[in-house]
Structure 1
Amino acid sequence: MKLSTIFWNNRTELAVSTEKGMAPLSLMGNSDLLGYSESINSFLGNWENLKTLKTEINIRGPELKTLKEGEFRYAPAIGKPGKILCIGLNYKSHIEETNDKPPEFPVIFSKFTNSIAGHEEDIPLPVNSNQVDYEGELGLIIGKEAYMVPENQALGHVFGYFVGNDVSARDLQRKTSQWLLGKTCEKFFPTGPCIVTADEIPEPQKLSIKTTVNGEIRQNSNTSNMIFSCKNLISYISQYMKLEPGDVISTGTPDGVIAGFPEEKRVWLSDGDVVEVEIEKIGKIRNRFVK
C-alpha cells in the first residue's frame, strides 16, 4: 500500500495512492477511518488500523472516491519524526569519488524537522552557501519500537519505505568536523511521494535508485551496493538508542554527487534547477531549487 500525506480542502490529510487516483481517507465514508485521517502516525505500530484501511479499499473497489493530480498538493511523506538519522559513506563508489576512507562502522548524523519537505515543493538555496548538492537515498520509517534488535529481526520493525534527497551544502558541511550545519538547512530533506508499506518491499536491498538534474542522469545505482544494509543499520543503531515508531533512517547515497566530480567540473545547484530522485517500487520525488 502507498500512503501519502496531502494538502487538500484546506487541511492536511492522509490518502492512499491507487491506480484510479489519490483516495483521501475522509472520502471513504468509514467512521472508523476518520480518526486516522490526519497523519501517518495513526498507523505506525498499529497493524490493525492498516488492515482496516486495506479492507475498506478492497470493499470500495471501483467506487472509491479519488482526487486527480492538480486537485491536491503533496505534504512531506514522513510527518514530523522524533529522530531523523542519516547514514554517510554507505556506498563504496561514493566513498571512492569523494576520496574518503571506508568506514568500519556506520557513519551516523542527523537532520532536524525544519529540513523536511515534500514532493514538488521548492527548496530554498541558502544565501550563505554556494555549494548545494543532491544525494538521492532510500529512506525507511520505523513502525515498531526497536531496541537491542538482532539483525535477523530488524526488518520486522519497518513500517515502510520512501524516496529521500539528503540535500547538502558542501561548503557548510566541510566548514568544521561536524556535518550538521550543511545537512539541515531549511527544507534540505524532501521526502515522498509516498510511504510504501514494508509488505510490498520484502527485500529492500534490490531496488534501483536514480537521480537526475534537469533531466540529466547523475546517479544510477542499486541498493544492493550498500555497505551496511537496512537490517544491519537498524540493528546497529538500536544497540545504542531506542528507535520508536515514526523515526526515520536515510540509508546513504551512491556515487554521482557534484562533490565527487573533478573540482573544475563541479557545477553546484542553482536557481531553477530541478532534481528528481526515483527508486524502484516506490516512486519519484521532484523538487525545484530556488533563490
Structure 2
Amino acid sequence: MKIVGFARPGSAEVLVGELLDGAVRPLTSLAEFWAAPRRWAVPGQPGDGPAVAVEEVELRPVVPPSARVLCIGLNYRAHAAEGGFTPPEFPTVFGRWTASLTAGEVPAPVPQGEDGLDWEGEVMAYVAEDLADADPDSARAAVLGYSTFNDLTARRAQKLTAQWTLGKNADRSGPTGPLVTADEVGDLRDGLAVRTRVNGETVQDGNTRDMVFDVGTLLSLVSRTLTLHPGDVVATGTPEGVGYVRNPPWLLQPGDVVEVDVERLGVLRTPIVDAGGRKGA
C-alpha cells in the first residue's frame, strides 16, 4: 500500500490518502492517521470521500509536525570511505526540522552563498508505535513503512562548524516520496537498490546491504535515549557517489533535476531552482 499526504486546493489542512494509479483516495486527517497508523495502513480501509486525481491536489510529506526527523550520517561503508572516514562505532545522528520536508516535484532552491546543493539519495523509515529501550527486532517490527528521501545538503553551511544542522536544514531541502508499507518492502538487510540520477545520469548506485547499522539497530539505539512515537522518522543514510568528494566537486545547479530511485519505493523527482525560485538558464 502506498500512502501520501495531500492538501486540497485552497486548504491548509493536510490529509492522508492511499495512492492509487494516478489518483489519491482520501483516508483521514494527518493527526488521526498517526493516532492509529496500523488501522489506516490497510488496503480497502473505508475512506473519507471518493478518489481524486493526483493533479487536483498538492502532495505533502506524510510526516506530522511533531515528528522527530533523525538522519544518519556515514551509514554506508562505501560512502564513509569516499569521504576519508572509517565506519563509525556508533551511528552519527543529526536532526532535521519538519519544516524542511517537502514532497516530490517541489522545487528546491540553492541558498544564497552556496555553490550548489549536494544530493544524498536515501531510504526513510516511519515509526508506527511507541519505542522505549527497544531491542532491534522489536524496533524493526515497529516500522510502518519506508519512502524515498533526498537529504539535499548545503555543503558550505554544513562545513562551517563540526555541527551539521545548518547545512542539513535549507529551505525545501528534504523531499520525500510516498510511504510504502513494510509488507511490500521487506527487510532492508536483504538489499534494495538505491540509485540517484542528475539530469538522467546515474551518480549513486548503492544497495541497503551496505548499511553499517540496519533500521532495527538504529531505532533501538535511539530508543535508549528518547522515546520514539508514531510519525517519527529515521533517514537511514546515503550510499557512495555524492558530489562534494568528486574532483572537481559536482553540485546541483538551478535548472538541474535530481531523481532518487529506490527499488520497491519508486522515483522521487526534484527540480533545482535559484534562491528566487528561478530554474536557471
TM-score for both structures, normalised by structure 2: 0.89
Count of residue pairs brought into register by the alignment: 270
What RMSD, in angstroms, separates the aligned Cα atoms of the two structures?
1.9
- Of the structure 1 ranges 130-139 and 197-206, higher mean CA displacement relative to structure 2 is found in 197-206
Q: Is the 8 A contact 1:160 1:197 kept in 2?
A: yes
Aligned runs of 1:265-280 on 2, under 5 Å? Answer: 265-280=248-263
The one-letter amino acid of 1:283's match is: G
Paired residue for 1:14? 16
Paired residue for 2:277? none
Deviation at 1:130, TM superposition (A): 1.6
> Among 112, 115, 118, which residue is 1:127 paired with?
112
Determine whether 1:42 maps to 2:44.
Answer: no
Identity %, equivalent residues: 33
Paired residue for 2:273? 290
The one-letter amino acid of 1:284's match is: V
Deviation at 1:41, TM superposition (A): 4.8
Paired residue for 2:193? 208
Could you list the structure 1 runs, at least 4 aligned residues long, displaced by more than 6 angstroms after superposition: none
Deviation at 1:203, TM superposition (A): 1.1
Deviation at 1:159, TM superposition (A): 1.4
Gaps in structure 2 of 5+ consecutive residues: 275-281
Q: Is the 8 A contact 1:161 1:282 kept in 2?
A: yes
Q: Is the 8 A contact 2:122 2:151 kept in 1?
A: yes
> Among 236, 243, 246, which residue is 1:251 paired with?
236
Distance of aligned partners of 1:182 and 1:8 in 2 relative to their CA distance in 1, 3 Å threshold: same
Paired residue for 2:179? 195
The one-letter amino acid of 2:172's match is: K
Distance 1:92 1:45 in 2: 36
Paired residue for 1:2? 2
Gaps in structure 1 of 5+ consecutive residues: 26-32, 58-63
Deviations 1:71-96 (A, max 9, x none): 33321232424211000000111111
Bigger Rg, which one: 1
> Among 201, 208, 217, which residue is 1:223 paired with?
208
Deviation at 1:113, TM superposition (A): 1.9
Q: Is the 8 A contact 1:94 1:260 kept in 2?
A: no
Deviation at 1:186, TM superposition (A): 1.0
- Counting helix residues as a fraction of each chain, which structure ranks higher? 1
Deviations 1:173-227 (A, max 9, x none): 11111111111111111111x1111222231232111100111100111111101
